[in-house]
A and B are shown apart, each in its own frame.
Chain A
C-alpha cells in the first residue's frame, strides 16, 4: 500500500522503500521514517486500545513522550511489548501489532469497560475488590490482569544480548538540538573532549521538525553541516540512539545506546549498550516537551500535539490529516498553522484560547480567539470538534498545544528542585544543579531558536574556559527569535464529556478532583492514588497538567503544590541492559579447582561451594546413588587412603616481625609460642563474641605463618584481617596476602596416607611419625624437585596430611597422588564423604557456625584466652553468653539404630508436648555413618555436656518425624584421637 497521506519534502529517503506490517497488513515506508510516521503516511489512525477503558487511541506525539501509540514489536522470543511507535525506527520487515484488545483492534469487546467508566474511577480497585479476602489472588487479580494492561510478554527468555561500557570525557552534552549542537561545536573547536548524545537516530532535535532558518540556510541543513563538522573532530564522539537516562554522584551519567533495535537482524551484535559515562562537566540541552489541554474526549485518534503535527509534516513528509484544526494557548501553536499552510494542507480553523492576541496573520484561515475546544466527535477517530462557543468544525486532525515543558528531569536526579515561571507556565531547572552541569536552550526555559543557539555557544565556551583552554570568540549562527508568548490553560471550562490528563494510564480530570476530595492532598499521594504519570511514559505530557489541576482543586498555586520527584531512569531501560553480561553463566563467576579437569574426566559430580565447583562424589560403575558412592569413599579413606582437593579453603600468607602478635589479636587462642614447623587450630570471633570462622595456621618460619580459612569465608576473613592490620594494629610490622589461588592443596587421609606420600616426597625429607608427628608442617620438595608444603592435619579424623604445591602443578599432582596410591586402593573423595567423616568426628562447619554460636556452645570456651586481647574477647564474656544452661554441641544417635535422623529436628523431652516452650535445642547435621552402620547427628542441646546417655526426642515438624535419640559425645569415631596420631 502506498502512503495516502504522504506529502512532498522531509528528511526521508524516498529511494529506500521499506516494507513492514501492522496487525498483519503490509505497508510501505521509507528509510528515515519511524513506525509512527510510516503509519501516519499510510492513513492508519487507530493504533491501540487504552489501558483501562479500552478507548481507541492513535498517535499523540512524535517522540519518547508518547503515551498512546504503543505496539508489540517483532515476534517469537524477540517480541517486545509497549514499544513506542514514535521512536521505533522503521526497518525492512518490521512486524508490529496493536495491544490490549480482545477481538479486532477496531471492534474490541473489552471496550464495554468504557460504558462502565463512571464506576471505574480512581481507587476503583481498592474500593470494589475488598471482600472476600480469599478472592484477592484467585479471582480478582486474574480478572483485573486480563482486562487491564497493555502488551503481552513473549514468555520466553530474552534471546538478545546486551553490553556494558565505560566512557570518559571532559563534557557530556545531552541532546543534539540547536543548543546541544552549538555547545558541541564551541567546545569541540576549543579542543575539549566532547561526547554528544542524542536519543534520536538523526541529530538536530527540533531543527529537523521545524521550518526555520539558521545562518541563512534551513535548520535541518545547518544541523547536518554541524554534525559533519563534529564528526571530523577527533576529540568529539557522537552518539545517536543514545538516551542519557540518569545522573549519578560525582559526574557519572548513565546512558542507553540502542545498537541494533533499528536493524532487521542484529547479526550477533549486542542489542543495547549500557554506558557509564564519567564526565567532569555536562551541558543539558534536552529541549522541551509539549503538553495538551484537558477538554472533552481529547484522547480521540486524530488529536495530536501541535509540535508533533509539524514534525510529521516537516521531517517525515507525512500529514496526520487532510483538514487540520489547531487549538492553542500560545504563539507556538500558530507555527503549526503556518507550516501546514506552506504544505498546502487545509486548515479547518485556528482556535486560540487567548483574547489578547495579535491579529490573525493568515487572514484566509478561520480563527476563533477566546474560544476553546469543548468536545470532539467521531467514532474510531476525529471527525468534528465543538468549541465552547458551540461552533461545530469538521476536521480529521486536531493539533493541540498547551505550551512546552522544559525537559529538566536530569537536573533533579541528585535532589534539585525545579522553580516555577509564570511567563512560561512551566517549571525550569532550579539553582541546585548536579555539580558540573549547565543547562542550555529550551531545557532552561529559553524557548526561541536564537536564544538556544546563543546559550549553547555560551555553555560550550564556558566549559573550554573551565578547562583552561583558549575559548574561541562567540560565534553564534544567525537565527530569529520567534514569538513564544503563552497564557496558561489547563482545562477547558465548559468542556463536555471526559477530559483526559494521562492518556497512558487513563486518568481524567474527574479522577484528580475526586482524589483531592477523598483527601489525597499531597501531589505524591495524588500520583499514587490516580496512577497519574506512573505509566511507562512517566507522565512526560501529563504530570504538569495533572498537578496544575490539583493546584486548582486545592486553591493553591502550582509552585505551592510542587512536583513529584524525578528519578532515574528518564526512559524505561530493559532489565537485560542493566544486567548486561550477568545472564546465565555470567551471573556468577565460577572458580575451578586445579584438579577439576581430572575430576570431570573421572565422572565426578560437582557442587557449588561459594564460587567454587567442588567434586561432590565420584560415582563408580554400578553405583546408582550418591550415598553408595560417598559411603564407599568414606570407608576407603578410613580403611586405606583417600584424596580430596581442598584448594578452595582460604589461604592467607602472614609475614613480618609481629606476625605472631597479629595472630594473637585475630585468634582467640595464643600463637606466640607455636614452634616453627607446627600447626595449630585457631578460633576466630566477631567483636560481639560470636564465633566467626576457624581453621589451622602453620608456622613455616619465625616470622612466617600460613592461615587457612573456611571456603565460604575466605574473602571476608581476609578483609577482616586487613581491617585489624590497618585499623586496629597499625603499629605492628606484619603483611598479608591471599594465596588461595596460588597453591593447589590436597588432603591425603587414611591409614595408608603416609606410605602413599613417602612415594611422592623427595628423598631426604623424613615424614615418619617420629620426625613429622601430628600437627607438624614443613616445606619440602616432591616428585623430583617441585616445591611443596606438607601439613599433618586431619579433618576426617584419620592419619592425614594436606600437601600443597604451586597451583600450576595441581593437575599433575592429583594424577601423581592417584598413581602412587593405586597399590593401596586409593579413592578420591568428594564433599559428601568429607561431610560424613567430619560429622563422625564432630567437627563444626557452617551448619554449626550460624552466626549465633559461641565458643562455649562448641565446648571451646577455654580456647578464648583471658591472658591476652583478641577480637571478640571482651564481649564473649557477656553474662548472657556465659550463663548456665547454654546449648552445647553434642552427638546424637537413634535409640532404634534403624531410624534415620533429620537435620533441623528439635529436641523435646520424652512425654512433653512439641511446643516452643519445651524446645531444648536442634539438630544441625546428620549423616548415615558407614563406620558405625547407623545414622548419626550433631546438634545443640541445653546443658548437653551433663546429659550424656539421656534419651530425648528429635521432633521434626516439617518432615513429620519424632525419633528417640540418645545424647552422646560429638566424636563418634576415634574419640581419643589415636588414629590421627598413628
Chain B
C-alpha cells in the first residue's frame, strides 16, 4: 500500500506501523463517575467495519508522525490521510 503523507507525499506502507481504530484519540475523562466503564469500552471495544475505517498509523521509518488514515477495509482504498495531532480532540490531559 501507499500512504499519502500530508507532509511527505506518497510513502510505502512498509515505512509505517499500524495501531488501529482512530477512536483511540478520544480518551475518556479520568475523573468522570463512569471512568472505569468508559476506559474499558474505549480500550477494548472496537467496531470492525467492512468498508471505511479511520485508523492510526505511525511513520516509524520516517518523520514519526502519527497519521489518521481513512482506509476501506474491503478494497484497501485510502480516501483520506491527516496528521493525528490535527484530528485529535482539542482537550487533552492536564495535571
Contact = CB atoms under 8 A, between A and B. Distances in A.
A428 B19 CA distance: 39
A687 interface: yes
B85 A723 contact: no
Given A726-B85, A730-B85, A874 B36 contact: yes
B39 A730 contact: no
Interface string A682-718: 0000011000000000000000000000000001000
Interface stretch (A248-256, A842-850, A920-928, A929-937): A248-256
A732 interface: yes
Contact of A727 (B30, B77, B85): B85
Contacts of B35: 874
B40 A727 contact: no
Contacts of B76: 249-250, 414
B81 interface: no
A414 B92 CA distance: 41
B22 to A, nearest CB: 9
Contacts of B91: 731
A732 B39 CA distance: 22
A263 B73 CA distance: 45
Contacts of A731: 90-92
Contact of A661 (B28, B77, B88, B95): B95
A972 to B, nearest CB: 37
A732 B85 CA distance: 11
B11 to A, nearest CB: 11
Most buried by B among A250, A665, A722, A878: A250
Interface in B21-73: 24-25, 27-28, 30-31, 35-36, 39-40, 43, 56, 58, 60, 64-66
Interface residues of B, number: 36
A728 to B, nearest CB: 5
Interface residues on A, range: 35 or more
B1 interface: yes
Contacts of B93: 665, 728-729, 869
B66 A722 contact: yes
Most buried by A among B24, B25, B27: B27
Contacts of A251: 2
Given A251-B2, A672-B95, A869 B66 contact: no
Contact of A726 (B12, B36, B66, B75): B66
Contacts of B39: 687, 874-875
Contact of A729 (B30, B58, B92): B92
Contacts of A873: 30
B79 interface: no
A868 interface: yes
B19 A723 contact: yes
Contacts of B30: 869, 873-874
A719 interface: yes
Nearest to A724: B93
A262 interface: no
B64 A722 contact: yes
A878 B44 CA distance: 14
Nearest to B90: A731
Interface in A400-450: 414-415, 435
Contacts of B92: 728-732
B25 A727 contact: yes
A37 B88 CA distance: 65
Most buried by B among A252, A727, A732: A727
Nearest to A719: B58
Nearest to B1: A249
A435 B79 CA distance: 14
A415 B73 CA distance: 13
A757 to B, nearest CB: 35
Contacts of A680: none
Interface in A667-685: 670, 672
Contacts of A660: 95
Nearest to B93: A869
A875 B60 contact: no
Given A727-B88, A875-B36, A250 B2 contact: yes
Contacts of B75: 414-415
A664 interface: yes
Given A723-B58, A726-B85, A875-B43, A661 B94 contact: yes
A727 B36 contact: no
A877 interface: yes
A869 B30 CA distance: 6
B60 A728 contact: no
B56 A727 contact: yes
Contacts of B25: 727-728
Nearest to B91: A731
Contacts of B84: 726-727, 730
A250 B88 contact: no
25 contacts: A251-B2, A252-B1, A278-B2, A435-B77, A664-B95, A665-B95, A670-B95, A672-B95, A687-B43, A723-B66, A726-B84, A726-B85, A727-B25, A727-B56, A727-B88, A728-B93, A730-B84, A731-B91, A732-B92, A868-B95, A869-B95, A874-B28, A874-B35, A875-B36, A875-B40
